[in-house]
């Protein structure tokens, strides 16, 4: 019998002062049995960083044809494709051919550094690709906020991000590797 995804609900108030985006989103995240809380929370953080009206989660780890998050135009073109982790270079080349903008959020410290060293030259040829790295300690602290029902507030200002649940707040500053 196959294991089922665990469903998490998140009410997220986003105040992005950099983009002048202020909205509350009721999100449902399905955590695949092979996915960690850390990765799931980075997907949630990616939503906060790039929140838009039509941004949505992909089908997840079980589907190779979809990203972690994406946004389609009203006519069906892919405007934004977001990957979390350390995707294969071929996958990113294909994504860059399909989407107007592609973003990768890496978060695994030394493993992300090694992935970047191996992939940097090939990825540099992709003009519509942006690669951001999240600090390991911030991602670990973010994982502590994971609950089946979350009520979160997220503020983005000057490239810095604060996300909290009323009891604790995590500060993260993504660093730009490419883009």
69 part of a folded domain? yes
pTM of the model as a whole: 0.95
49 part of a folded domain? yes
| Cα–Cα distance measured from residue 135 to residue 121, given in angstroms and rounded to the nearest whole number | 22
CATH of the domain at 62: 3.10.640.10
Domain of residue 123 covers: 37-146
Phi-psi map region of 53: left, alpha, beta (phi>0 left; psi -120 to 50 alpha): alpha
pLDDT at 1 over 60: no
**For residue 3, what pLDDT is reported?**
77
**For residue 161, what pLDDT is reported?**
98
What is the average pLDDT value for the chain, to the nearest integer? 95
116 part of a folded domain? yes
12 part of a folded domain? no
Is pLDDT larger for residue 55 or for residue 5?
55
How many domains in the chain? 1
153 part of a folded domain? no
Task: Grade residue 2 by pLDDT with cuts at 50, 70 and 90.
Answer: low
116-166 pLDDT tens trace: 999 999 999 999 999 999 999 999 999 999 999 999 999 999 999 999 999
172 part of a folded domain? no
**For residue 56, what pLDDT is reported?**
96
**For residue 4, what pLDDT is reported?**
85
24 part of a folded domain? no
47 part of a folded domain? yes
């Amino acid at each position: 019998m196959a294991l089922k995804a665990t469903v998490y609900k998140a009410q997220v108030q986003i105040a992005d002062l950099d983009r002048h985006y202020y909205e509350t989103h009721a999100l449902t995240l399905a955590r695949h049995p092979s996915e960690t809380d850390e990765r799931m929370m980075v997907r949630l953080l990616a939503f906060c960083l790039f929140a838009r009206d039509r941004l949505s989660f992909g089908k997840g780890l079980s589907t190779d044809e979809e990203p972690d998050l994406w946004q389609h135009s009203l006519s069906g073109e892919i405007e934004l494709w977001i990957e979390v982790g350390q995707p294969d270079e071929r996958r990113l080349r294909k994504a860059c051919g399909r989407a107007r903008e592609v973003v990768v959020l890496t978060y695994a410290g030394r493993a992300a550094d090694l992935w970047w060293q191996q992939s940097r030259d090939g990825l540099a040829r992709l003009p519509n690709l942006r690669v951001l790295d999240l600090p390991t300690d911030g991602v670990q602290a973010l994982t502590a906020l994971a609950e089946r029902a979350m009520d979160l507030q997220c503020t983005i200002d000057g490239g810095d991000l604060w996300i909290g649940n009323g009891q604790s707040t995590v500060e993260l500053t993504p660093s730009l590797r490419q883009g």
